[in-house]
Amino acid sequence: MYLSKILVERRRAHNPYELHRALWTLFPGHEHDARGFLFRFEAERPGSATELLLQSAWQPEPQSAEVRG
């Protein structure tokens, strides 16, 4: 089990579909698996990003510009 704090672009964090898509980019190779993560909003950083706490079965691999570890 992994516990991570990540930042998501503000525009993606306010759209549930885009947020879900952005979070899945953290787990390449697991796109067709059952969802192995839970998240909750921690803080919003005005003008930049939203901070999330992420618990996952797999180690996240932040590679995209939308999601940073």
CATH number for 2-68 (one of 3.90.1640.10, 3.40.640.10, 2.30.30.90, 3.30.70.1200): it is 3.30.70.1200
Task: At 10, give phi and psi (nearest 5°).
Answer: -55, -40
Model confidence over 8-58: pLDDT tens digits?
988 888 899 999 888 998 999 998 898 899 999 998 877 778 999 999 999
Question: So what's the pLDDT on residue 64?
Answer: 58
Question: So what's the pLDDT on residue 27?
Answer: 92
Quick check: 65 pLDDT over 60? no
Question: So what's the pLDDT on residue 14?
Answer: 86
Q: How far apart are CA 27 and CA 41, in angstroms?
A: 19
Quick check: 69 pLDDT over 80? no
- In our burial notation (b when 16+ CB lie closer than 10 A, e otherwise), range 32-46 reads eeeeebebeeeeeee
